[in-house]
Structure 1
């Protein structure tokens, strides 16, 4: 029995590598080019910096993958990062809450926003784009109201450990959190009934409904997962900064979507992998880091990310056409 389980897991790993071989090659090629372009790129310190820098985007992108696999979208994730981080720090600084309850409250705020998004999308049948766009403004507005546009500082050394701590004196804890979330969501997506239902609903919602799948519950759960993960990313970002700013998470939705589509998940739903999303997040993080080391303006980095999204969606269209043929 144990041998069969190991065979299945190793076979699944090989299948995942083959499926993402193209973007893996692209990641390696990018690393090779940057290692020649700047000698600072391949240092162990810089590699750990890249891991820390991509951790927040990676976590958000994993939740976004669930939503896009349904053919949906969640534009509220960046604002959830801000509101969750702001509220957790405000509860500690102004209301005297303890560290754990305040951080948990921040995560639950993300869960609640995901639940609200999912309710209007599944029960009221409103378009996901409109609902999450509205929630993006609402959550950001509440973050600004709570802070009056100013940072909230918290003096607690435990935050420094949570946000900037190292494992084995070298590996950023933020990267460890990201990999734990990846592992949990990977297992749910690939080895549970819910994961199968998610793919089926994204592939053909009517067929999934006729086969007895509760598609509303599948969709609602996906948005709750996206909100929860974004809330977790928000409190970790606040802990890393030792404060909460209402501007946290700006542009996070674009970075997350870029990682997901670059990783091969189809915007129309039904096809994609979390492994691909992780590689997509690495490519974006490595690209940003390399361009920073070369002194390229952040404005041009935004242009590059936009081009990447267009190219990734173009490849998505090509794959869809081949699938139809």
Structure 2
């Protein structure tokens, strides 16, 4: 005779409440450090110069940082997926020259020149991606070659001189000098671009795949992610945004600039991305930290300029910040020192 056994009734257990993260913890240590550094820089130069913190000067800082910000945002994307683009400054020069020269030559309106510039940027970006993916060239080497080649292309197209005059066109004037709700149009373009890229990276499968490619490309490939297509698309994106930056450079200066205004932007963009928390090996980073780093670099550069510090020292400061950012990353990741056993 068997005796029926009854299992004890199941007890409904309420899930443990999720621990709420404080706003400071949500920001992260990297971003908090950048905010602290930005506050120190603003306070220091604000004490040294009464007009430094004025609304008009802060708008100057924002406008001057726009081109760097646009390039740094898309540089963040390419670094996250394990790449790098050193040629972005030269791409800006090509787009600036193309936008002004096509506008002047056709006489058919500013949109024609802008579309031509974006098309040129897209073509350059795709070329970079194809060379890296199908030519199997290291991204640093490929875009280093592009840095020289595209700079030469911009100078060949323009004969080494500023080209065209666009300040008699309403759209160019609006982009370069207009305001919406009190903020320069250029700043709004940066904000829209940054928000779009943040949404792409944070809330879409594309963004998750980009992080996966940068984190472990072998695992990403085994998971069915078409890495080659992603890489070409990312470099195409950076080419298009560099073209937009070139158009804004033309609108701001009034003519196509083959070198002036774009030279050195690649270093600023990479420095901002690294300071913002992007791991140069890929798989880590975000738009928020990059924008904070752009603001820090812009405030520092403007403050040094206001104080009459030689611009050569600004280059020294940028280089030192880039090295410092990489050193901090290495320490946080526990990377072994080169050539040492521990």
TM score, norm. by length of structure 2: 0.88
1:7 match: none
Where does structure 1 lack aligned partners over 5 or more consecutive residues?
1-9
1:255 match: 268
State the alpha-carbon separation in 1 of the partners of residues 185 and 126 from structure 2. 28
CA contact (8 A) 1:40 1:293 kept: no
Task: Figure out how many residues of one structure are paired with residues of the other and give that number.
Answer: 314
Shift of the alpha carbon at 1:12?
12
2:211 match: 199
Query: For 1:205-224, what aligned pairs fall within 5 Å after superposition?
Result: 205-224=217-236
Query: For 1:67-216, what aligned pairs fall within 5 Å after superposition?
Result: 67-155=78-166, 156-158=168-170, 159-168=172-181, 170-216=182-228
Shift of the alpha carbon at 1:15?
6.6
Shift of the alpha carbon at 1:13?
8.4
TM score, norm. by length of structure 1: 0.92
4+ long deviations beyond 4 Å: 10-16
State the alpha-carbon separation in 2 of the partners of residues 321 and 153 from structure 1. 52
Of stretches 84-93 and 30-39 in structure 1, the one that deviates more from structure 2 is 30-39
2:72 match: 61
2:28 match: 18
Shift of the alpha carbon at 1:131?
1.1
Matched, 1:228 2:210: no
SS in 2 for 1:41: coil
Shift of the alpha carbon at 1:69?
1.0
- Listed one character per residue, the Cα deviations across residues 183-213 of structure 1 (whole Å, up to 9, x for unaligned) are 1111111111010000000001111111111
State the alpha-carbon separation in 2 of the partners of residues 166 and 196 from structure 1. 35
Q: 1:14 to 1:184 in 2, by over 3 A?
A: farther
SS in 2 for 1:42: coil
RMSD: 2.0
State the alpha-carbon separation in 2 of the partners of residues 60 and 48 from structure 1. 19
- Listed one character per residue, the Cα deviations across residues 123-165 of structure 1 (whole Å, up to 9, x for unaligned) are 2211111111111222111111111111112242311121111
SS in 2 for 1:152: coil
CA contact (8 A) 1:64 1:257 kept: yes
Q: By percentage of residues, which structure has more helix?
A: 1
Q: 1:123 to 1:160 in 2, by over 3 A?
A: same
Query: For 1:263-278, what aligned pairs fall within 5 Å after superposition?
Result: 263-278=276-291
Shift of the alpha carbon at 1:238?
0.5
